[in-house]
Structures are given as C-alpha cells and as structure tokens.
Amino acid sequence: MMKEKIRALATQLHGETVSLRRHLHRHPELSFEEYETSAFVKSALDQLGIPYRSMANTGVVAEIKGDLPSEQVIALRADMDALPIMEVEGREYGSQQPGVMHACGHDVHTSSLLGTAKILQSLKKEFGGTIRLIFQPGEERLPGGASLMIKEGVLADPVPQAVIGQHVMPLIEAGKVGFRSGKYMASTDELYVTVKGKGGHGAQPQQNIDPVVITAHIITALQQIVSRVADPKTPSVLSFGKVIANGATNVIPNEVYLEGTFRTFDEAWRKKAHTHMKKMAEGIAESMGGSCDFEVRVGYPFLVNEEKLTAEARDYAEDYLGTENVVDLDLWLAAEDFAYYSQVADACFYRLGTGNTARGITSAVHTPTFDIDENALALSTGLMAYIALRKLGN
C-alpha cells in the first residue's frame, strides 16, 4: 500500500534529512543571497537524477514526472532564506555565519522538500502526473521571492492544480500538523515615516517646533485607524517598532523617524487604510506646525487556503497521521509570501509541529533560541509526499 511505502521511506531517510537540515542550518544565507544554498539544492537534485532549472536568480524549480499516464500537476514549495539574527552559542549545528540564522525554519522546509523529492523519485513508477518542486528565495524580504518566481512562470506551462506548502510551528508539538481553510495569514505593508519640525534647546520649546511631541500625537492618533475606522469584523493590526529621535536630554531634534507595519485581511479596506493613515499623520503634523512624509511600501497580500483543497489535504493528513494528530489553526496576523501563490492558484499552506515542551523546545520563530524537535523531519517528508500523491489521484 502506498501509505506504508511512504512511511517506511520517510523513516529510512530520517537521518539523511536531519543531516541536510543541519548542513543548511550551519550555512544560512540572507534573502536573495542564497547562492550556496541554491548550489546545495541543485547538487542534491543531481544525485537524485531530478532535472531542474534556475529561476529568480537563486531559486530552483524541479519536476518529477510519474511513469503512469496523467496530465495532473501539483506544486510543492519550500523557502530557503535565513534572517539577520545572531544565534545562541553552544549548538553542535549552530550557524557558522555570524549574525545570520535560520530562525524561521526555512532550513527545515528545504531539507524536507529534498527528502520528499527522494521519496517521490523512488516511487515514480507507481504514480501518474507531475510534481513540481519549488525552492524559493527571499521569503523574508519584499518584494518576496514568490512574486518573482510567479512573474518568471513558476506556475505556468502548465498551471498546477494545487500549490502546497508547509511551515514550522513551535507552538504545535512534533508529530502533529495544523490546517485552516479560507483566510489564514494577513497582508503586510511596511510604513516609513519622517516627522519634521524645528529643533533647538529643550529649555526653549517656544522657539522650536517639536517633532517628538508631534510624533507622539501621530502614533496615538493612528491607533484610531484600527479601533474606530476599521470594521470590527475585519482583523487589523497597526504597530510601530522603530522610533528614532536623535536629540538629547536638552536637545529637541529637527526630525523623528518611524518604521511600522500594517496588516489586515481585506484588500479594499487595506487600500482605504493607507489613505487614512497618510492623511491623518500629515494633518496632525501640519496642525502643529510641522510636516510629515508618510511612505507605505505595499507588501504581501493575505493568504487564502482554498477550501476544497485544504479539506482534502486535511483528510489525507488524518489518514496518514491519525485524526488526533491534526489540529485546527486560528487566524494568524503574521504574513507569508506564499500568499502570492494562493492569489493565483488553489493553495494549501499547513503547519508542521516542531515543538517539544518536555525537552524545552518552545522558542518562537524569529528568536535567537529557535530550534526544532528533529523527529518532525520524518513526518514532514512523508506527509507532503502522501498529500501530493493522493491529490494526484494515486
């Protein structure tokens, strides 16, 4: 039976998948700089005899064609880039690149897809259809590698019937996975704001136009965008994480610089909010004698898991893992450029449990202490292979 064959292969390959993951973890590369990672993926595909082509500079696209007749095409996606984070010391497989770390599990995604590729390649005589493997750069940085891959035709010739991706989730214990149909992850926009005034001595505020005070009013007032302008039924988040007022205890600066993020689940409201934020910030600054440059860099759209595909994938996961090991996911206001695929084709983006509370593996992604329970790597390879083959009708 196909399920038992896949389970056996995933177990057999577990040690190899762990080795792949640890190599990638030791050698992280930032977004759109994944040259060594790309070469490593190509080398692994060469060893498997799987043809591939380069795309979006450091991206790699490969295809496995089953020997049985079928025109069906399924795409499986992994991202490859790391983050500018200094990893904690003392790990055997810790990053050898100072200040760069696989803190979001993309090493897991890439090694898992290579493991899945090996499983599928060994079973190609037993299935029909084509499985497209997408190794994507630049998920962590605008404009997002997915958007570039799509522009270069990764979802064309022919268009896949489904695009499937998985992502680590330390809040879920290893051995489990999570699914959610419909809207799942938020759109994300970056805000870059400069509030300008007239600096001077802090003891003579009457001679100045204080951009710090103006900025305080702007930050507070902009929260009304979420609390009083947004429809309460549409989740929205507006946060500023960077504020630079380079004065001193007794020096009012000439300007204040801000960076923030806006996230939501409705495209019409998203555009409306951009206009509201800009108008409100500029109006407040002008009314207080200053000025405001408000830039919105439009980022990823919100991510939608197509309901029929996601229901099918969940059923396949329950069959492979047992119903007790498949959990429901809530809306998540984080963002992912997998959303671009979901805006073009039927897509399913599910969560791979990688936590282990008993062993203290609980750190969130994007932190210096993030790690995974590597037992999840047997599940990650086998489940994706099983979902792909079931979706192809095998």
Residue 283 CB neighbours (<10 A):
13
By C-alpha distance, which of 73, 293, 267, 119 is closest to 196?
293
What string of DSSP letters covers 362-378?
-PPTTSTT----TTHHH
Dist. CA 106–CA 378, nearest whole Å: 16
Dist. CA 18–CA 135, nearest whole Å: 18
Residue 287 CB neighbours (<10 A):
10
Measured at the CA of 374, the angle between CA 14 and CA 304, to 5 degrees, comes to 100
Burial tier of 55 (Cβ tally within 10 Å: 0-12, 13-18, 19+): buried
Q: Is the peptide bond before 98 cis (omega within 30 degrees of 0)?
A: no
Q: Is 63 left (phi over 0), alpha (psi -120 to 50) or beta?
A: beta
φ/ψ (deg, to 5) at 35:
-70, -50
Matching residue, tokens 């079931």: 390
Contact 164, 239 (CB under 8 A): no
Residue 204 CB neighbours (<10 A):
10
The residue from 107, 139, 210, 374 that is catalytic is 139
- 46 as an active site residue: the answer is no
Contact 31, 101 (CB under 8 A): no
Residue 267 CB neighbours (<10 A):
12
Contact 101, 83 (CB under 8 A): yes
Contact 385, 185 (CB under 8 A): no
Q: How far apart are the first and last CA of the chain?
A: 11
The residue from 81, 140, 210, 282 that is catalytic is 81
- 267 as an active site residue: the answer is no
Helix (H, G, I), strand (E, B) or coil at 207: helix
Return the active site residues.
81, 139
